[in-house]
Amino acid sequence: MVSKSLILMTLSALVISFAKAYDPSPLQDFCVAIDDPKNGVFVNGKFCKDPKQAKAEDFFFSGLNQAGYTNNAVKSNVTTVNVDQIPGLNTMGISLVRIDYAPYGQNPPHTHPRATEILVLLEGTLYVGFVSSNQDNNRLFAKMLHPGDVFVFPIGMIHFQVNVGKTPAVAFAGLSSQNAGVITIADTVFGSTPPINPEILAQAFKLDVNVVKDLEAKFKN
């Protein structure tokens, strides 16, 4: 007869295995993503081409030497290099971004639901930080970065970067997912489609309902 403790241990192991929040480890050398499923195998969001048909271009991207366009509302630009740009990243659990900031530009508060981010500053001066979860009393972890400094944003945590200098800033960041995803807080809350009922947001943010309506108008997609 199977003991109760063994059953509980088995159930716990199953729960842990199903609750993994990271990209799965690859089971082959590579799994180059293709859009045509006719002769492919579906793996974690992408189909894989025949490995014998893989070529160097499947693992290559050019252009991160070029500054991104920052003449926009937030005065920053994120150039993403994930599985959509490099199909050879499929199943590899890693991606990269270049972030350009105009003077006083920012990468607004956002989260990556599927990745931890490690950022290195190459040029300029950034004020960066993340906020821990409710269980940790929403503590702010913030730091002023100078060229050569590195900062880590844990998976799922709301974080931001702000260029506090009078000159442009440039950073590169690695993410622990082939497609980390991004949820920009203001865009998501005030710019959803269809809009969230303003009275709900007014109560949640302790704002006048007319203020919420104005914010929703500004962030409307």
Residue positions in the annotated binding site for Mn(2+)? 110, 112, 117, 159
Which pairing describes strands 169-175 and 158-163: parallel, antiparallel, or unpaired?
A: unpaired
At 145, list the tokens.
Answer: 């970065």
The three-state secondary structure class of 157 is: coil
What are the binding residues for oxalate?
107, 112, 117
Q: How far is CA 141 from CA 30, 144, 159, 160, in A?
A: 37, 11, 9, 11
Cβ-contact 20, 114 below 8 angstroms: no
Q: Is 114 exposed, middle or buried (0-12, 13-18, 19+ CB in 10 A)?
A: buried
Q: Which residues pair with 145 in a beta bridge?
A: 126
What are the binding residues?
107, 110, 112, 117, 159
Cβ-contact 180, 82 below 8 angstroms: yes
